[in-house]
Amino acid sequence: MDIFLQQVVNGLTLGAVYAIVALGYTMVYGIIQLINFAHGEVVMIGAMVALSVINLLADSGLPPLVVVLTGAACAIPVCMLVAYAMERLAYRPLRRAPRLAPLITAIGVSIILQHLAMLVWSRNVLAFPQIIDTRVYNFAGAVITNVQIAILLSCVALMAALAWLVYRTRLGTAMRATAQNPQVAGLMGIDANRVIATTFLIGAALAAIAGVMVGTYYGVAQYTMGSILGLKAFSAAVLGGIGNIPGAMLGGVLLGVVEALGAGYIGSLTDLCSYPVISGWLGARCAGGGHFVLFGSNYQDVFAFAVLILVLVFRPSGLLGERVGDRA
Amino acid sequence: MSAGARRKGVLFWGGVALVAAVLIVLPFAVTQIGTTWVRVTNLALLYVMLALGLNIVVGFAGLLDLGYIAFYGVGAYTYALLASPQFGLHLPFWVILPIGAAIAALFGVLLGAPTLKLRGDYLAIVTLGFGEIIRIFLNNLAQPVNITNGPQGVYRIDPFRLDGLNFATNQKILGLEFSGPIKYYYLLIVFVALIIGINLRLQNSRIGRAWEAIREDEVAARAMGINTTKLKLLSYAMGATFGGLAGGVFAAIQEFISPESFVLVESILVVSMVVLGGMGNVWGVVLGAVLLSFVPEILRFSVAPVQQALFGRMLIEPEVIRMLLFGFAMVLVMLFRPAGLLPSAVRKRELTERR
Amino acid sequence: MQQPKFGISLLVAASALALAGCGEEKKPEPAKTQAQAPAVPTIEIKIGHVAPLTGGIAHLGKDNENGARLAIDQANAAKIMIGGKLAHFELLAEDDQADPKVATTVAQKLVDAKVAGVDGHLNSGTTIPASAIYHQAGVPMITGSATNPMLTEQGFDNVFRVVGRDDQQGPAIASYLAATDKPKVVAVIDDATAYGQGLADEVAKTLKAAGIKVLAREKGTDKTTDWKAVLTKIKGEKPDAVFYGGMDATGGPLIKQGKELGLDAVYAFGDGACTDKMAELAGQAAEGMLCSQAGIPPQAASKSFLDAYKAKFNTDPILYAPFTYDAANLLIEAMREAGSAEPAKYLPTLHKISYMGATGRIEFDAKGDRKDAEITIFSMKSGKIAPIAVVKSGKTMTYDEFLKGMGGAK
pLDDT above 80 for C69: yes
pLDDT number for residue A252 = 93
**pLDDT of A130-160, one tens digit each?**
778 788 888 877 888 888 999 999 999 998 9
pLDDT band at C314 (very low <50, low <70, confident <90, very high): confident
Distance CA B134, CA B107 (A): 10
Percent of chain B with pLDDT over 90: 35
**pLDDT of C36-60, one tens digit each?**
445 678 889 999 999 988 766 777 8
Size of interface A-C (CB pairs under 8 A): 104
Dihedral sign, Cα of residue C396, residue C398, residue C403, residue C404? negative
pLDDT above 70 for A185: yes
**pLDDT of C251-265, one tens digit each?**
999 999 999 888 989
Give the residue on C whose Cα is nearest the Cα of B282.
C5
pLDDT number for residue B31 = 82
**What CATH number should be reported for the domain whose range is C167-294+374-406?**
3.40.50.2300
Q: Which residues of A touch C56 (CB under 8 A)?
A: 123-124
Residues B191 and B49: beta-carbon distance below 8 Å: yes
Return the H-helix or E-strand segment holding C385: strand C384-392
Q: How far is A228 from chain C (nearest CA, A)?
A: 9
B177 φ/ψ angles, rounded to the nearest 5 degrees: -85, 110
pLDDT above 90 for C379: yes
pLDDT number for residue B312 = 65
SS3 A143: strand
Q: Nearest by CB to B290, which of C12, C111, C194? A: C12
Q: Which residues of C touch B258 (CB under 8 A)?
A: 100, 125, 194
Distance CA A52, CA A78 (A): 12
pLDDT number for residue C20 = 42
Dihedral sign, Cα of residue A26, residue A32, residue A34, residue A36? negative
Of the listed ranges A164-178, A259-273, B50-64, the least confidently predicted one is: A259-273
pLDDT above 60 for A315: yes
Domain region containing A191 = 2-314
pLDDT number for residue B55 = 94
**What mean pLDDT, rounded, does chain A reach?**
87
Instruction: Print burial letters for C349-358: b (CB count within 10 Å at least 16), e (below 16).
Output: bbbebebebb
pLDDT number for residue A326 = 52
Q: How far is B94 from chain A (nearest CA, A)?
A: 34
Q: How far is C69 from chain A (nearest CA, A)?
A: 25
Any CB–CB contact under 8 A between B15 and chain A?
A: no
Residues B69 and B262: beta-carbon distance below 8 Å: yes
Cβ neighbours for B106, distance < 8 A, ≥ 6 positions apart: B237
> Does A323 map to a domain?
no
Longest dimension (CA), chain B: 71
Percent of chain B with pLDDT over 70: 95
Bridge partners (DSSP) of residue C387 are C378
pLDDT above 60 for C63: yes
Q: Which residues of A touch B120 (CB under 8 A)?
A: 99-100, 103
Quote the DSSP letter at residue C217: P
pLDDT number for residue B325 = 82
> Does A324 map to a domain?
no
Distance CA A265, CA B4 (A): 76
Distance CA C337, CA C350 (A): 9
pLDDT number for residue C28 = 39
Average pLDDT over residues C187-191: 93
pLDDT above 70 for B42: yes
C109 to B19: CB separation less than 8 angstroms, yes or no? no
Please report how the helices A300-314 and A245-269 are oriented relative to each other, as an axis angle in degrees rounded to 10: 130
Q: Which residues of C touch A130 (CB under 8 A)?
A: 282-284
Residues A19 and A159: beta-carbon distance below 8 Å: yes
- The residue ranges of DSSP E strands in A52-139, in sequence order, are 126-127, 136-139
pLDDT number for residue B174 = 78
pLDDT number for residue C3 = 43
Q: How far is B268 from chain A (nearest CA, A)?
A: 8
pLDDT number for residue C102 = 83
pLDDT above 90 for C290: yes
Any CB–CB contact under 8 A between A298 and chain C?
A: yes
Any CB–CB contact under 8 A between A33 and chain B?
A: yes
Distance CA B351, CA B345 (A): 10
Any CB–CB contact under 8 A between B290 and chain C?
A: yes
Average pLDDT over residues B161-178: 79
Q: ipTM value, please give it.
A: 0.84
A238 to B122: CB separation less than 8 angstroms, yes or no? yes
| β pairing state of C360-363 and C374-381 | unpaired
**pLDDT of A31-71, one tens digit each?**
888 889 899 999 999 999 999 999 888 888 888 888 899 99
> Does A18 map to a domain?
yes
The residue ranking higher by pLDDT, A109 or B33, is A109
pTM score, whole prediction: 0.84
Q: How far is A302 from chain B (nearest CA, A)?
A: 6
pLDDT number for residue A244 = 84
pLDDT above 50 for C171: yes
DSSP string, C237-272: T--SEEEEES-HHHHHHHHHHHHHTT---EEEE-GG
Q: How far is A218 from chain C (nearest CA, A)?
A: 6
Q: CA-CA distances (angstroms) from residue A85 to A38, A47, A90, A204?
A: 12, 19, 8, 11
> Does A322 map to a domain?
no
Distance CA B303, CA B321 (A): 9
SS3 C188: strand
Any CB–CB contact under 8 A between A6 and chain C?
A: yes
**pLDDT of C318-363, one tens digit each?**
778 889 999 999 999 999 999 888 899 999 999 999 998 888 888 9
- CATH number at A216 reads 1.10.3470
Tell me which of A125, A266, A294 to substitute to probe the interface with C (most C C-beta atoms closer than 10 Å): A125
pLDDT above 50 for A303: yes
Dihedral sign, Cα of residue C1, residue C6, residue C11, residue C16? positive
Dihedral sign, Cα of residue A88, residue A93, residue A96, residue A102? negative
Of the listed ranges A94-103, B338-347, C95-104, C235-244, the least confidently predicted one is: B338-347
pLDDT band at A2 (very low <50, low <70, confident <90, very high): low
B254 to C101: CB separation less than 8 angstroms, yes or no? yes
Q: Nearest by CB to A220, which of C221, C236, C281? A: C281
Give the residue on B whose Cα is nearest the Cα of A36.
B121
Residues C69 and C59: beta-carbon distance below 8 Å: no
Distance CA C220, CA C192 (A): 6
Q: Nearest by CB to C2, which of B12, B152, B342? A: B12
pLDDT above 60 for C14: no
Q: How many domains does chain A have?
A: 1
pLDDT above 80 for C120: yes
The domain made up of C40-163+299-363 has a fold known as Rossmann fold (3.40.50)
Nearest to B129 by CA among B115, B116, B119, B141: B115
* Chains interfacing with A (3 or more CB pairs < 8 Å): B, C
**Numbered ranges of CATH 3.40.50.2300 in chain C:** 40-163+299-363, 167-294+374-406
pLDDT above 50 for B144: yes
pLDDT above 80 for B4: no
pLDDT number for residue A117 = 92
pLDDT number for residue C129 = 85
> Does A164 map to a domain?
yes
pLDDT band at C32 (very low <50, low <70, confident <90, very high): very low
> Does A152 map to a domain?
yes
